[in-house]
Chain A
Amino acid sequence: MKNFDQRWQTSIQAARQAPAEPMELPYGFTTRLLARFHEAPAETWSEVFAVLGLRALFVTASLFLVSASFAAAHWYEFRIETPALENPLSVNPLTEPFSSWL
Chain B
Amino acid sequence: MTETFAVQDCLSRVRSGDLAAANSLILHLSPLVQRLVRNHLPRRESEEDLMQDVFLKLLQKLNSYQERAGIPFEHWVSRLTVRTCLDALRAEKARPEWRFTDLNAGEAEWLDFLMKGQSTAPTSHSMDVKAVVMRLLAQLSPPDRLVLTLLDLEERSTQEIAQITGWTRPMVKMRAMRARHKLRQIARELMKEDLTDS
A: residues with CB less than 8 A from B are 1-2, 4-5, 7-12, 14-21, 23, 25-26, 29-30, 32-34, 36-37, 40, 42-43
Question: Is A34's CB under 8 angstroms from B48's CB?
Answer: no
Q: Provide the residues of chain B in CB contact with A32, threshold 8 Å.
A: 52
Contacts of A34 in B (CB 8 A): 19, 22-23
Set of chain A residues within 8 Å of B171, measured between Cβ atoms: none
- Count B-side interface residues using an 8 Å CB cutoff: 39
Closest to A42 in B: B60
Assembled-state Cα–Cα distance A26/B30 (Å):
11
Q: What B residues does A26 contact at CB under 8 A?
A: 48
Count, A-B residue pairs, CB within 8 A: 90
B56 A18 Cβ-Cβ under 8 A: no
Cβ of B129 and Cβ of A14 under 8 Å apart? yes
Q: Complex formed: what's the CA distance from A5 to B152 in Å?
A: 11
Chain B 11-28 interface 0/1 with A at a Cβ cutoff of 8 Å (1 = within): 000000001001100110
A residues less than 8 Å from B77 (CB atoms): none
